Amino acid sequence: MQFLDEKELREVDIIRLLGKERKYWQISELATTLNYSTSIIYNALDDIKLYLAENAPNTQLIVKKSTGAFLDKPDSISLDAIIEKYMTTSMAYIILDSTFNYPHLRARQFYEQHLLTKSTFYLRLKYIENSLHTVNLNIETNPMRITGPEIWIRECYYNLYWRTYRGRIWPFRSISREVLLYQLNEFLRNSRISMNAVEKEQLLYRLAVRYMRHAQKRYTADMPLQNCVPPQVVDFIKKHGVALMNSVPEQYRELEEKYLTISISNLLYAKTRSLRATKLIEWHREKQTLPYKIAAAFLEEFAIKYPDIVIEENDHLWLDLINVNFYGLSLPHLYIYRDLRKQADYFKVENPALWANLEVIITKLFNPENFQQFAAPDIYFCYKYMVLIVEKFAMKKYEPKLEIALVTSQDNAILNKLKSQILRKLNLNIEINIESIPKNVDLIVTETTTVTTNLDLAFVWNFPPTQNDWMRLEERLSGIRDGRLEG
């Protein structure tokens, strides 16, 4: 759901482009790049100039007809901070934030408090209402609150705060981040799940929204696709999710546990527990769940285009695709843990033939009209399916190779055994040197920091490596690879 209107989105696009490079941007260049007319650009620049003067100290927009537009800001102020401030001063954000933090606030109180006329307030409210309708939600005014399936209300608020702040600050005034972080760390430690920093922060935002809804006595009452959660996953959450339940009343506990399976991801469960992913795939196949049926239809079309590529019926790719559908249908506006558009564009250039075939399949299967009852946006499926398939069959060809030096006091037999274990355990494109440290090494895996003066390159683990060591190493190398992909 997009809470900014077209004018605000346009101005954000212009601010983002102006901040991309410190130079005077020709008005025609802005218009061409953003696909707007020059008159629209000039009007937007006037409004941005006024906004910056009122809300961004030491930052100004200089506009000269002959030279162009220049965003003059100190290095201490990030572009993200300027855009964040812009978004939080939007009336739509203020209205939605008020429905979250002040559930008893009435419409008249709101527009009088913010010095709005009644007509201006209801005009803005109408735009928000139209946006909410796209995800099967509504907004009431007395008191001001969002209504609809509870799980989608939570996703709406998560989307509002994550898109605005992206973890830069903690926007939940009445909820302690430290308390939630402690609970989450306890869960991760007990369940042996690893998450990168972004994933963890996103889950903290979701837990904060959930905690706040609990404080307002709003519990999950409507759970799309709840019958598609495998019993093994439900048992796992029941066993380990106690730290995240926040004293949920007994009658709501089962639904809340199933909600956690979506928030946390049963894909992580399959990868980190002893239970093989095969059992989860078999369960979905036996039950013929909707996520499975969509995955089967996709792979059937894929087999027509690529008859020589055989995907075994218990290939982990099945579970990846089932999870995409499960999340996309249950949380229709879920923002994927990493922004896949950058990755998708990268693969599109590198593998245009495969990409063209995938686009045909996606267009055929994921017509939005087929998913109206779930409010699932086709763009979610397009990006995720394409990237999953390309990762599976083309990623190794284009993934940057990481240079690793393995330095240990053990003998050569142990050293070679460790090298084989790393290559077998980590599904990454890596080259391991056990004789010397390459000049352009990406990571030095060692038992001590004395092997290098550059501690940023050192990864210290135990001998023999523990399960936690393997998880840390995979996370570290994945982070280096992702940084390379993002350029």
Does the bond joining 143 to the residue before it have cis omega, within 30 degrees of 0? yes
Is the pLDDT at 129 greater than 80? The verdict is yes
Cα separation, 76 vs 441, whole angstroms = 32
Q: Which residues of 57-90 are buried (b: 16+ CB within 10 A; e: fewer)?
A: eebebebeeeebbbbebeeeeeeeebbbbbbeeb
Same-domain status, 49 and 102? no
Cα separation, 416 vs 453, whole angstroms = 25
pLDDT value of position 376 = 64
Q: Which residues of 434-462 are buried (b: 16+ CB within 10 A; e: fewer)?
A: eeebeeebbbbbbeeeebbeeeeebbebe
pLDDT value of position 101 = 94
Same-domain status, 35 and 142? no
**Residue ranges with strand state E in 325-427:** 402-406
Is the pLDDT at 337 greater than 50? The verdict is no
Judge residue 380's burial from the number of C-beta atoms within 10 Å of its C-beta, 0-12 exposed, 13-18 middle, 19 or more buried.
Answer: buried
Any domain includes 327: yes
Same-domain status, 456 and 375? no
Cα separation, 368 vs 132, whole angstroms = 17
- Kindly report the average pLDDT of the chain as a whole number: 84
Cα separation, 79 vs 135, whole angstroms = 30
pLDDT value of position 399 = 62
Boundary residue ending a domain (379, 395, 411): 395
Same-domain status, 42 and 133? no
Same-domain status, 390 and 285? yes
Percent of the chain with pLDDT over 90: 30
Confidence of residue 396 (pLDDT cuts 50, 70, 90): low
Same-domain status, 377 and 325? yes
Confidence of residue 99 (pLDDT cuts 50, 70, 90): very high
pLDDT value of position 160 = 92
Is the pLDDT at 173 greater than 60? The verdict is yes
Structural domain total, the chain: 5
Mean pLDDT of 28-40: 91
Which of 141-150, 236-245, 260-269 bottoms out in mean pLDDT, i.e. has the lowest?
260-269
| Nearest Cα residue to 163 out of 202, 119, 125 | 202
Percent of the chain with pLDDT over 70: 89
Same-domain status, 391 and 281? yes
pLDDT value of position 102 = 93
Cα separation, 261 vs 7, whole angstroms = 38
Same-domain status, 378 and 446? no
Any domain includes 169: no
Confidence of residue 44 (pLDDT cuts 50, 70, 90): very high
Contact of 45 with 97, CB cutoff 8 Å: no
Is the pLDDT at 482 greater than 80? The verdict is no
Helix axes 197-215, 91-101, angle to 10 degrees: 60
Cα separation, 248 vs 246, whole angstroms = 6
Question: Backbone phi, then psi, for 38, in 5-degree steps?
Answer: -65, -35
DSSP string, 378-406: HHHHHHHHHHHHHHHHTHHHHSPPEEEEE
Task: Give the global pTM.
Answer: 0.74
Same-domain status, 374 and 315? yes
Return the SS3 of 332: coil
Any domain includes 409: yes
Does the bond joining 149 to the residue before it have cis omega, within 30 degrees of 0? no
DSSP string, 179-245: HHHHHHHHHHHHHT----HHHHHHHHHHHHHHHHHHHTT------TTGGGS-HHHHHHHHHHGGGGS
Any domain includes 168: no
Side chain identity at residue 178, one-letter code: E
Domain of 451 in residue numbering reads as 399-485
Any domain includes 159: no
Over residues 62-88, the pLDDT tens digits come to 998 888 999 999 888 888 889 998 999
**CATH assignment at residue 407:** 3.40.50.2300
The two tokens of residue 181 are 């972080």
Choose the most confident range, by mean pLDDT, from 246-250, 284-288, 442-446: 284-288
Mean pLDDT of 110-119: 94
pLDDT value of position 341 = 65
Those residues with Cβ within 8 angstroms of residue 19's Cβ, 6 or more apart along the chain or in another chain? 71, 73, 79, 82
- Which has more pLDDT, 225 or 298? 298
Any domain includes 157: no
pLDDT value of position 279 = 87
pLDDT value of position 270 = 64
Cα separation, 229 vs 226, whole angstroms = 6
Any domain includes 154: no
Same-domain status, 34 and 130? no
Over residues 201-216, the pLDDT tens digits come to 989 999 999 999 998 8
Same-domain status, 362 and 461? no
Same-domain status, 282 and 388? yes
Over residues 318-334, the pLDDT tens digits come to 988 898 888 888 876 65
Any domain includes 207: yes
Side chain identity at residue 224, one-letter code: P
Boundary residue ending a domain (103, 131, 148): 148
Question: CB neighbours (10 Å) of residue 304?
Answer: 10
Boundary residue ending a domain (222, 257, 272): 272
Question: CB neighbours (10 Å) of residue 294?
Answer: 24
